[in-house]
């Protein structure tokens, strides 16, 4: 059943999934590639790259078009928006490439950069570079996860579905804990 699902929907699931929850989906994709159900290069990486690029581009355009309205709806974002603005003044290009790796700043970072004077053309180029780097790094981490689990557990054919479910649960739990922590953080902390 897993083989059939991945053969038919694996790459599309990675593309769509990385638009909404990137790291968890990419790690699952890398693990599936290690198990031989998908090809890490180029397809898992390409699907993850496309999803991550779309996601970050959408946040940028949200900031460009609706930045002030978005901030009014989410006043708790203000400290992190200010932090991104400060980083942007010092690390412009490397921030745009690397912000996707900083937990809690992907959405807010894209919105803040969209609200800044960074041109759309510059953002697109740096977003392409960042999305490519992100897809390779996270995809390879998922692939290595499969390798490490095989070294520790031996043959894992019968454990593939529980391992993928475990990755999904851990990813979901981390998202939940992060969102709870973010919502309870005092407004003056970054």
Distance CA 134, CA 183 (A): 26
* Mean pLDDT value across residues 111-116: 96
Q: How far apart are CA 91 and CA 56, in angstroms?
A: 18
**Mean pLDDT, to the nearest integer, of 143-148?**
96
* Residue 187: band (very low, low, confident or very high) from pLDDT cuts 50, 70, 90: very low
Over residues 129-143, the mean pLDDT reads 98
User: Do 4 and 113 contact (CB within 8 A), yes or no?
Assistant: no
Give backbone dihedrals phi and psi of 154, rounded to 5 degrees, phi first.
80, -140
The distance from CA 103 to its chain's CA centroid, rounded to whole angstroms, is: 9
Q: What is the pTM of this model?
A: 0.87
Give residue 177's pLDDT: 80
């Amino acid at each position: 059943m897993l083989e059939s699902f991945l053969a038919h929907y694996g790459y599309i699931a990675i593309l769509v999934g990385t638009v909404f929850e990137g790291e968890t989906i990419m790690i699952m994709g890398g693990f599936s590639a290690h198990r031989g159900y998908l090809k890490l290069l180029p397809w898992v990486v390409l699907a993850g790259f496309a999803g991550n690029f779309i996601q970050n581009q959408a946040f940028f355009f949200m900031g460009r078009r609706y930045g002030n309205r978005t901030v009014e709806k989410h006043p708790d974002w203000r400290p992190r928006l200010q932090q991104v603005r400060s980083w942007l003044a010092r690390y412009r290009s490397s921030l745009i490439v690397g912000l996707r790796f900083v937990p809690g700043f992907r959405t807010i970072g894209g919105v803040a950069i969209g609200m800044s004077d960074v041109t759309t053309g510059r953002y697109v180029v740096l977003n392409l570079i960042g999305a490519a780097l992100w897809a390779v790094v996270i995809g390879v981490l998922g692939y290595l996860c499969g390798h490490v689990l095989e070294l520790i557990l031996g043959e894992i054919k019968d454990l593939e579905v529980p391992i993928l479910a475990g990755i999904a649960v851990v990813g979901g739990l981390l998202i939940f804990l992060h969102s709870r922590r973010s919502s309870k953080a005092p407004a003056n902390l970054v």
